[in-house]
Amino acid sequence: MATVNGEVEGAEPEKKEEGDVRTGSLVSQSLPHEYQKEALEFDVESFRIDGAPLGERGDLDEEDRFLSLVDGGNWETLELEGSVTIDQDTVEDVFPFNEWDETPGRIALVKENPLAMSRDRQILADSPLERGTHEFALSINRDDHRGRVKIKPFLTRTEEGGSSGSKHASKVGARVADGLSWIVRLDERDDGGSLLMPIIEDFSDYDRFPDESHIHYLSLEAPRNPQLYLNKEHPQIINVLNNTGATGGPPRLRDVLYDYVEHSVWTQLLMQTARDTSPDTGEPEYSWQEDVLNIFLDDLYPGLGDDEAKVQLAEDVRSHVDIPDLVQRIERAVHQQYNIPSDTTNLIEEAIQSGD
Amino acid sequence: MTETLRGLVAPNVDRGTTGPQRLGNRFKIGNESRGGSAERESPSSQRVTGDTNISFDEVYTHWSFDGEVEPLSDGNEIRAVTVSLIRMAEERATSDRLPVQNISSDTAGVSISLPEQKGVQVGRLEPAPGTLKISFEGVSTEDHRQVETRMKVSVDVAERRDE
């Protein structure tokens, strides 16, 4: 068996062969300790909408552990009741022998709703962990959630573990087991669910906002949840931006202003996405960045496959030498998103007609 | 004077209200079309197939890994395999890299090295022409941080060369 290790100088890699070499990848991932997948029994026994049984509302598939309330009419609160059960075998698998009697474990039910940027948990059982069934009641407020809501139980450690050399987790908070999740799907919003619905604010009220010469501002202070603001200090411009017409001067001007805002915002979103994308795996940090990559990758790196393009983008933004080329690529790609010559020509023609 | 006139004709705009949806809808991000799935298969993974494993060895406090990979297409051969180890942060984010301490292969004719990528040692296997399958195993350096860790096996494939 050929072997090489870090203390032995490795052979110099051969020069790359000519030809169309393509790269594929396989990924494996592991926790550094014993972990029992799907070992917690997670049952939802009842769903109630605004206090009434689910009945015919929604699309419930108990086998797939899925409830869709898309087109489920008006409602405010969905309540779920059920239980999470942990057995002795699971405890013995993930905790060392000396912790079987007084088990430093906690069962938490975690609710995740990525589109609403929401994640919270409910603790069902705490240390010392008792085996058996732990009941829960959980509410999903319609106004606070959108799209896919995942509910999943986890078992975690609550105390620092013993000596090293054990296969068991030792850190406080380490996940050691989970259960099969339930998915609740909520209806889409009329606005298309875009993350960037603008908010109108007076920029002079906030130190962190740009000065009054700006009509818009993209806040990336919380990169998980970018926010677009429009400056209330320019009410006539806001009025034009709010115009919903199709023809005439204000709608034509609106389209040109939208192009201007769009160019600025996409450029910033792309740079943030590039910075948050791993040069190792090509994976971005936040879910909205997947959408940004899907929109622009082909235009940014037309010769590369998706995975290679993501890695290249992440590498380029970290390379001082490659930044100017990257900025030009972004400029070109962002320009594909709107039609500034057409929108400006429409505005000019409208102005000429008005002047006749 | 101009400012005064502007003030008189300016429409009343409420602050803190939602702005034009039409503008927001130009940014098709974070919407339902994405489906919220983090488990989409990467197109590049379809070029190769195989079995890869990584686990933590609590005795030696390092990660042990092994794998066997081959091109999906019969017309392709393997030109190189690179194994890198990446520590994970919260919510799928990657953190830093972990050096590969050693790597070995029982596939005949494989050249083995431990070059650096982005300043961190990775395992690299370069097989003889015509190699259709490579198996390997190895370990990381000692890892005292012990967080969830990902092994990425990048496989360069190309059309088979005439021997």
Chain A partners of B65 at a C-beta cutoff of 8 Å?
28
- Let me know: does A247 contact B36? Beta carbons within 8 Å: no
Convert A294-314 to b/e letters by CB count within 10 Å (16 or more is b): ebbbebbbeeebbbbbbbbbb
Taking each helix axis as running N to C, give the angle between helix A306-317 and helix A249-276, from 0 to 180 degrees, rounded to the nearest 10: 80
Distance (Å, rounded) from C-alpha A141 to C-alpha A157? 30
Interchain contact, A198 vs B20, CB within 8 Å: yes
Cβ neighbour number for residue A46 with a 10 Å cutoff: 11
Nearest to A194 among B31, B56, B97 (CB): B31
Residue of A234, A216, A235, A213 whose CA lies nearest to A226: A216
Write the DSSP symbol of residue A220: -
> Mean pLDDT across the stretch A159-163?
80
Residue B92 one-letter amino acid: R
A188's tokens: 């889409």
CA angle A144, A146, A150 (to 5 degrees): 100
Interchain contact, A4 vs B114, CB within 8 Å: yes
Q: Tokens 């940004």 identify what position?
A: A292
> What pLDDT score was predicted for residue A254?
92
Q: Least CA distance to A27: which residue of chain B? A: B152
Q: Where are the beta strands (DSSP E) in A95-165?
A: 105-113, 118-125, 132-141, 148-157
pLDDT tens per residue, range B99-119: 999 999 999 999 999 999 878
Distance (Å, rounded) from C-alpha A91 to C-alpha A14? 51
pLDDT tens per residue, range B13-56: 554 566 787 788 788 776 433 333 333 333 444 578 899 999 99
Interchain contact, B152 vs A280, CB within 8 Å: yes
> What pLDDT score was predicted for residue B5?
53
- Let me know: does A155 contact A135? Beta carbons within 8 Å: no
Q: Least CA distance to A163: which residue of chain B? A: B58
Distance (Å, rounded) from C-alpha A284 to C-alpha A295? 14
Q: Tokens 């091109």 identify what position?
A: B71
A187's tokens: 């209806």
CA angle A254, A260, A263 (to 5 degrees): 135
Distance (Å, rounded) from C-alpha A199 to C-alpha A196? 9
Q: Least CA distance to B110: which residue of chain A? A: A2
pLDDT above 70 (res B6): no
- Max Cα–Cα distance, chain B, nearest Å: 87
Interchain contact, A235 vs B10, CB within 8 Å: yes
Interchain contact, B30 vs A192, CB within 8 Å: no
- Max Cα–Cα distance, chain A, nearest Å: 91
Chain B partners of A115 at a C-beta cutoff of 8 Å?
30-32, 36
Chain A partners of B102 at a C-beta cutoff of 8 Å?
3-6
> What pLDDT score was predicted for residue A318?
86
pLDDT tens per residue, range A101-148: 999 999 999 998 766 656 788 999 999 999 999 999 999 988 778 778
Q: Least CA distance to B98: which residue of chain A? A: A280
Distance (Å, rounded) from C-alpha A135 to C-alpha A5? 52
Complete domains list, chain A, with CATH? 36-185 (2.60.40), 199-355 (no CATH)
- A60 phi/psi in degrees, rounded to 5: -100, 125
In sequence order, the 6+-apart residues with CB closer than 8 A to the CB of A213 are none
CA dihedral A72, A74, A76, A81 (to 10 degrees): -30
Alpha-carbon torsion A70, A76, A81, A86, what sign?
positive
Interchain contact, A198 vs B54, CB within 8 Å: no
CB < 8 Å & 24+ apart, contacts of B110-114 = B110/A2, B110/B134, B111/A11, B111/A13, B111/A14, B112/A2, B112/A3, B112/A4, B112/A10, B112/A11, B113/A4, B113/A10, B113/A11, B113/A12, B113/A13, B114/A4, B114/A5, B114/A6, B114/A10
pLDDT above 80 (res B126): yes
pLDDT above 50 (res A247): yes
Range with the largest mean pLDDT of A162-171, A281-290, B122-131: B122-131
Chain A partners of B10 at a C-beta cutoff of 8 Å?
235-236
> Mean pLDDT across the stretch A285-297?
88
- A17 phi/psi in degrees, rounded to 5: -70, 150
pLDDT confidence band for A173 (50 / 70 / 90): confident
pLDDT tens per residue, range A231-244: 988 989 999 998 87
Residue of A182, A159, A186 whose CA lies nearest to A170: A159
Chain B partners of A296 at a C-beta cutoff of 8 Å?
none
Interchain contact, B146 vs A33, CB within 8 Å: yes
In sequence order, the 6+-apart residues with CB closer than 8 A to the CB of B3 are none
Q: What is the ipTM of this complex?
A: 0.72
Complete domains list, chain B, with CATH? 47-158 (2.60.40)
In sequence order, the 6+-apart residues with CB closer than 8 A to the CB of A205 are B15
Tell me the nearest-neighbour CA distance from B143 into chain A, angstroms.
Answer: 10
Tell me the nearest-neighbour CA distance from A186 into chain B, angstroms.
Answer: 10
CA angle A170, A175, A177 (to 5 degrees): 115
Interchain contact, A258 vs B22, CB within 8 Å: yes
> What pLDDT score was predicted for residue A5?
38
Tell me the nearest-neighbour CA distance from B47 into chain A, angstroms.
Answer: 5
Cβ–Cβ pairs < 8 A, chains A and B: 291
> What pLDDT score was predicted for residue A200?
86
> Mean pLDDT across the stretch A300-315?
88
Tell me the nearest-neighbour CA distance from A219 into chain B, angstroms.
Answer: 14
Nearest to A24 among B46, B124, B148 (CB): B46
